[in-house]
Amino acid sequence: MPHLVILYTANLESEIDMTDMCQEMCKTLLAQHDDNGEQIFPTAGTRVLAYPAPHFAVADSQHNYGFIYLNLRMATGRSSELHEQVGQALLNRVKTLFDPLLQKQHVGITLQIDEGVEVFNARHSSIYPLFSPAA
Amino acid sequence: MPHLVILYTANLESEIDMTDMCQEMCKTLLAQHDDNGEQIFPTAGTRVLAYPAPHFAVADSQHNYGFIYLNLRMATGRSSELHEQVGQALLNRVKTLFDPLLQKQHVGITLQIDEGVEVFNARHSSIYPLFSPAA
Amino acid sequence: MPHLVILYTANLESEIDMTDMCQEMCKTLLAQHDDNGEQIFPTAGTRVLAYPAPHFAVADSQHNYGFIYLNLRMATGRSSELHEQVGQALLNRVKTLFDPLLQKQHVGITLQIDEGVEVFNARHSSIYPLFSPAA
């Protein structure tokens, strides 16, 4: 972790470059540092996945509404200050990417951060070794 | 919120009009009122997204089983009576839409409501102003 | 339940037979037994859905990284020993399926088990009757 999963109405597919958006979100996560100047999230564990929904309904369906939902799942136990920092950083980046679209289409954006409370957690990777100190 | 995310096996794609289903689910959510006659969910915040899974396995895979999972995420703190009211309303609508199919195919339907326990929550929208009192 | 939802970067689509993977995961879940020799999960309630993400970003995006996330949601209240048993069984199966790929591509695998804490839960099914004692 962290994992950012983005769910959105497929009518946004032609309006926003979602692969670019994933990369921008990923860079934003990796750019976060704590008070000691340490990178908050491990590079190898930072992932963003985006899924257009081919079927959807938004609000009263009276306009060609768009909706995008960003859900970040991170490990539990971080401070509320860190949650706020990360959330605001992502939100600011999203606003920059979407504000031109919001001027011409009715689009809703929701960003939430969940703490994972999994009862089992395992990792198997040929990415982590690239970023480990011994690599 | 609320957000209803529907995950289903792609073999149901040709059997059910999922865009219609999203609209019916959305209407059902907007039709819910509390004891004071107030609409429970904000129109602008009500969204339904449906995703067919191109790869899947259900039960013992001995038949062309279908599966549909409806997960409603709503804000935390509502009463259990409200959860029951909303859940039953959605379930009844789903049954009406799916019962003809269940007569001819083995299909499982699961509907769950989660309370969001996010540690960060932000919204940015050009839909909400359409429905605000000042609009 | 249980429901296993698999999210993965679409660049793995040509590398791994994901339908086969879903079936292997489903079989692994059904093969789990408790200390009394009873099957842990109901056959009719065991479902696996897999979704390739058409847009994604992983780590520093400097290689053709792949990522696969497996999230198992099961009913709450089972023992930590059972969580460990099920998690390890799934992980071992995933490793067997993916280790050849991990030798040639940088791929990250994360497997987590969540306990569902839904506030409403309903089921409607024409699969369960096939597996009920009275069937």
Which strands sit side by side in the sheet containing C120-125, from one edge to the other? A55-58, B47-53, B3-9, B66-75, B107-116, C120-125
Q: Would you place residue A135 in the very low, low, confident or very high pLDDT band (cuts 50, 70, 90)?
A: very low
pLDDT-above-70 percentage for chain A: 98
Question: Which of A27, A43, A122 is opposite residue C87, by nearest beta carbon?
Answer: A122
Question: Which of B30, B51, B131 is opposite residue A51, by nearest beta carbon?
Answer: B51
Chain B: nearest CA to C109, how far in angstroms? Answer: 18
Predicted-complex ipTM score = 0.95
Tokens of B125: 């929208």
- C-alpha B83/C-alpha A31 separation (Å) is 40
pLDDT (tens digit, 9 = 90+) per residue, A92-115?
999 999 999 999 999 999 999 999
Q: What is the rounded average pLDDT for all residues in chain C?
A: 95
Q: Whole-prediction pTM value? A: 0.97
Mean pLDDT, rounded, for A2-24: 98
- C-alpha C40/C-alpha B114 separation (Å) is 24
Predicted local distance difference test score (pLDDT) of residue C135:
42
pLDDT (tens digit, 9 = 90+) per residue, B8-48?
999 999 999 999 999 999 999 999 999 999 999 999 999 99
B94 CB near a chain C CB, below 8 Å? Answer: yes
Predicted local distance difference test score (pLDDT) of residue B132:
76
Question: Which of C30, C51, C118 is opposite residue B53, by nearest beta carbon?
Answer: C51
Mean pLDDT, rounded, for A113-119: 96
Predicted local distance difference test score (pLDDT) of residue C132:
76
- C-alpha A128/C-alpha B2 separation (Å) is 37
Distant-in-sequence, close-in-space partners of B132: CB < 8 Å, separation ≥ 6: none
Q: CB pairs under 8 A, 24+ apart, for C27-33?
A: C28/C89, C28/C90, C28/C93, C29/C2, C29/C4, C29/C72, C29/C86, C29/C90, C30/B60, C31/C89, C32/C85, C32/C86, C32/C89
Q: What is the rounded average pLDDT for all residues in chain A?
A: 95
C51 CB near a chain A CB, below 8 Å? Answer: yes
pLDDT (tens digit, 9 = 90+) per residue, A61-104?
999 999 999 999 999 999 999 999 999 999 999 999 999 999 99
* Chain B: partners with 3+ C-beta pairs within 8 Å: A, C
Mean pLDDT, rounded, for C110-121: 96
Instruction: Output the CA angle B10-C30-C20, nearest 5 degrees.
Output: 45
pLDDT-above-90 percentage for chain B: 95
Predicted local distance difference test score (pLDDT) of residue B20:
98
